[in-house]
Structure 1
Amino acid sequence: MRQLSIKVKQGEGREIQKIAKEHNGKNLQLQPLEDGELLTLHLNNQKVSSFLESISKYEDAEITLIPRGIITLYPPQGEAPDQVADVSLRSPIEIFLGGIQSVGSKKGMLIYSAAGGILVWVGLYTGTVYLLVAAMLVSPFAGPAMNAALAAAAGKMQLLKQSLMRYFMAIGTGILVTFLLSFFIDQKFATPLMVSVSHISQMSILLPIVAGLAGGVNLISSERDSLVPGAAVGVLVAASLAPPTGLIGMAVNFGNWQLVRSGVFLLLLQLAVIQLTAALIFRYMGKVTTNGVRFADGKAYVFKLSLAVSTLLVAGLLYWQYAGQPGLQKGSVNVQIASVIRTELNKMEGIEPIEVNARFTRGTLPNLNPVICEVYLYKRNDAMTDEEVKKLVSEVLYARVKAEDWNADPMFSITVLNYPGKAEKP
């Protein structure tokens, strides 16, 4: 339920009160004022927009909408639990205007972007993962992302341009800060955490889909119906944007264009997918359209154009990702190589795999995609020496990995473990 206060001219209060009753308004109160009348009423969220549209002919009406849940109790008393349990989605006008109101100042956005960039840089440089989480809390990416999606759903081209500009200003500030920090300390090489962030999974599209869905649903849900706080949703959106922002700035400094390519791919993918999914949520669940009450000047082509551009961009990025391996799929190929190695080792008699790890390097070798394969074995066959086992295993595994169409060049570090106790026969 939402509380509305409407100030109108003398004699118009009764007319609006009648309209409010037609919209199932509760706990209505009409008060006389020196310069008119004040009507206070409570409406279900889904009735707010239609009610405001019904009183649009009263052009001088001064309307106050309190964007917080109100508990209204009315006869019969025994139905109070059912009355307060009626939790519905926000009205389209509240979704749209509330989103616009949360834009904030550019100065504050730039300060938070710089602070987030510093935290990302320290986290990536020192390998401190919890600082990346802190950067996700600080980075102001969720607001511009959701406002851009709102603008697309409502057909507001000017607002869409402004939101995208703020989006890229925030991202650009983070990139600039991380670049300058790496430049001042004369960073020459990528850190292990930077390399890890640059390894993109084949399922990387799922994160921005979830972020867009969660962000959209959070904004259209009433506060008592939202099971996840807005800050958590903001972290989810920033989780897909903050690390690649830092990765680009740091990698540009020392000229590792493979890392830059990964960061640019991630940023563009997050932007397009979040925009696409959130705009669809606002349009079809939140009912934010070009014909919304009090913001009915939107253009239908803006929504269609936004969907078309986002869809084409996502399709192009996915084609780029899957056009060649392992480039933008290293996160998944790592796992697949390790799985193939373990499967192949299980076929070999007298050898038991203890632990298998596979990871791509920074790509510093020309014409090669080196992947380091660390293999820990336990040898049950005493007929072969440790060196013979290593040679046999590396030859078999090399041939098996190269047989796959991964365009990967495995380099093996094989350790044969010794058990000083008495081993039981398998």
Structure 2
Amino acid sequence: MRTLTVKVPAGKGQEVKNKAEKLKGKNLSIEQLDTGELVRVHLNNNTVDSFIRSIDNIEEAEITLNPRGVISLYPPQDEAPDQVTDVTFRSPFEIFLGGLQSVGSKFGLMGYAASGGVLVWIGLYTNTTFLLVAAMLVSPFAGPAMNAALAAAAGKSGLLLQSLKRYAMAIGLSILVSFILSYVFKQQHATSLMVDISHISQMTILLPLVAGFAGGINLVQSERDSLVPGAAVGVLVAASLAPPTGLIGMALNFGNWQMVQSGLFLLILQLAGIQLSAALVFRYLGRVTIKGARFADGKENVFRISLLVSVAVLGGLMYWQFNKQPNLQKGSISTQITQTIRNTLKEVEYVETIEVNSRFTRGTLPNLNPVICELYLYNRSDSLSDEQVKQALQSVLFDRIKDEKWNADPMFDITMLDYKGEKPQKSP
């Protein structure tokens, strides 16, 4: 439940109390003041918006909403367990205005964006994964993301543009910081962690959709119903946006345009996906619409245009990603190549598979997309030498990978291990 206090002119307190009673308000009280009357009410989350709208005709009303859950007990006592289990969604009024409270100052936004940019750069430069996690904690991308989605759901074009501007400022500064640091330290080559981030998976679109949904549901749910703290959800949103900003800035410094392309693809994909899923959550679960209490001046077309733009951007990016392999699919294609190699080796009776790894190289050669296939095998044949086994397998595996039309050019590094123990028995 929520606690609201309403200060009204003398004689209006009983009217406010009666309207709260109609909405099943509990523990109602009226306090006489020198300048009017103070009414205290306790309402279920889903009736707060209706209550505020019902007293909208009292222009002098001064409303204070405590955005924290309270436990309100009242007779009969045997119903107490049911009375304290109000886990309904927050009211649209609280969701919208609560989201606006997270806007913060530009100084704080830019300060955290710069700090996040430094941490991302250090993490990528030194291949330190935990520093990337730290950058996700510091990077202030979750706030503008949720504000933009709220603005779209409520049809507030001004707030939407303001939120997108803050987006651009924070992301742009993070990219600039990464670029400057790479330039100062004369970085000329990509690190292995940068390569890993630049290798995009076919399932990458799921991350921003999940991040937007989680961020939206975290603001819609009451705090007692939310099993995940807001900070964790903020990290999820930043996880979609922080690494690509560092990748773009660092790759720009030494002119690796393939990595810049991957970073821009990731960044735009995350922005559009988060905006789409979060706006839908606010609109249809949080009921944040243009008819919400005290912010009814939004325009329906803003929400519709926002959705259309997000869907169009996502559709265009998906077409770009799947139109030509393997440029924007290397993360998942390398996994599929590994699986193909393993399945092929299962058909070869004279080979024992120890380990198989596949990875695309950092760049491309002219008309080639080289993928390094590392195989660690044991030769179980009594008649074939290790070199004969290698040559036979390379021919078979090359044809299998080429048949999949991944546009990948396999290069094999096969190591035949020397088994010192008892020779394994052949499979029947």
Q: What value does the CA root-mean-square deviation take over the aligned residues?
A: 0.9
Per-residue CA distance 1:32-72 (angstroms, 9 max, x = gap):
11111110111111111111111111001111011000111
Equivalent position amino acid for 1:115 in 2: S
2:247 maps to what in 1? 247
CA distance in 1, matches of 2:76, 2:379: 79
Contact residue 137 and residue 238 of structure 2 kept, 8 A: yes
Q: Secondary structure at the residue paired with 1:412?
A: strand
Which segment is superposed worse, 275-284 or 386-395?
Answer: 386-395
1:279 aligns with 2:292: no
- List structure 1 segments (4+ residues) > 3 angstroms apart after TM superposition: none
1:49 maps to what in 2? 49
1:59 maps to what in 2? 59
| TM-score normalized by the length of structure 1 | 0.99
| TM-score normalized by the length of structure 2 | 0.98
Q: Secondary structure at the residue paired with 1:70?
A: coil
CA distance in 2, matches of 1:186, 1:3: 58
1:35 maps to what in 2? 35
**TM-superposed deviation, 1:424:** 3.3
**TM-superposed deviation, 1:366:** 2.1
CA distance in 2, matches of 1:362, 1:60: 66
Per-residue CA distance 1:100-137 (angstroms, 9 max, x = gap):
01111111111111111111111111111111111111
CA distance in 2, matches of 1:10, 1:197: 64
1:102 maps to what in 2? 102
- What does 1:202-213 correspond to in 2, within 5 Å? 202-213=202-213
Equivalent position amino acid for 1:403 in 2: D
**TM-superposed deviation, 1:351:** 1.0
CA distance in 2, matches of 1:252, 1:275: 27
Which segment is superposed worse, 344-353 or 12-21?
Answer: 344-353
Give the number of equivalent residue pairs.
426
Q: Secondary structure at the residue paired with 1:103?
A: coil
1:331 maps to what in 2? 331
- What does 1:119-138 correspond to in 2, within 5 Å? 119-138=119-138
Q: Secondary structure at the residue paired with 2:327?
A: coil
Equivalent position amino acid for 1:183 in 2: Y
1:191 aligns with 2:191: yes
Equivalent position amino acid for 2:266 in 1: L
Per-residue CA distance 1:131-174 (angstroms, 9 max, x = gap):
11111111001000000000000000000000011111111111
CA distance in 1, matches of 2:7, 2:94: 19
CA distance in 2, matches of 1:413, 1:195: 20
1:150 aligns with 2:125: no
2:217 maps to what in 1? 217
Given the superposition, is the C-alpha separation of residues 424 and 360 from structure 1 closer, same or farther in structure 2, using an over 3 Å criterion? closer
* Percent of residue pairs bearing the same amino acid type: 66
2:73 maps to what in 1? 73
**TM-superposed deviation, 1:401:** 1.1
CA distance in 2, matches of 1:195, 1:275: 27
CA distance in 2, matches of 1:62, 1:132: 45
CA distance in 2, matches of 1:179, 1:354: 42
Equivalent position amino acid for 1:68 in 2: R
**TM-superposed deviation, 1:75:** 1.0
CA distance in 1, matches of 2:6, 2:132: 47
Which blocks of at least 5 consecutive residues in structure 2 are unaligned?
none
Contact residue 380 and residue 424 of structure 2 kept, 8 A: no
**TM-superposed deviation, 1:364:** 4.2
Q: Secondary structure at the residue paired with 2:69?
A: coil
CA distance in 1, matches of 2:346, 2:30: 81
2:23 maps to what in 1? 23
Contact residue 248 and residue 264 of structure 2 kept, 8 A: yes
- What does 1:381-396 correspond to in 2, within 5 Å? 381-396=381-396
- What does 1:257-268 correspond to in 2, within 5 Å? 257-268=257-268
Equivalent position amino acid for 1:49 in 2: D
**TM-superposed deviation, 1:86:** 2.0
2:408 maps to what in 1? 408
CA distance in 2, matches of 1:369, 1:382: 36
Q: Secondary structure at the residue paired with 1:278?
A: helix
2:359 maps to what in 1? 359
Q: Secondary structure at the residue paired with 1:241?
A: helix
Per-residue CA distance 1:267-322 (angstroms, 9 max, x = gap):
11111011001000000000000011110100111000000100100100001111
Equivalent position amino acid for 2:82 in 1: D
Q: Secondary structure at the residue paired with 2:414?
A: strand
Q: Secondary structure at the residue paired with 1:177?
A: helix
1:234 maps to what in 2? 234
Equivalent position amino acid for 1:5 in 2: T
2:11 maps to what in 1? 11
Contact residue 32 and residue 38 of structure 2 kept, 8 A: yes
Equivalent position amino acid for 2:343 in 1: T
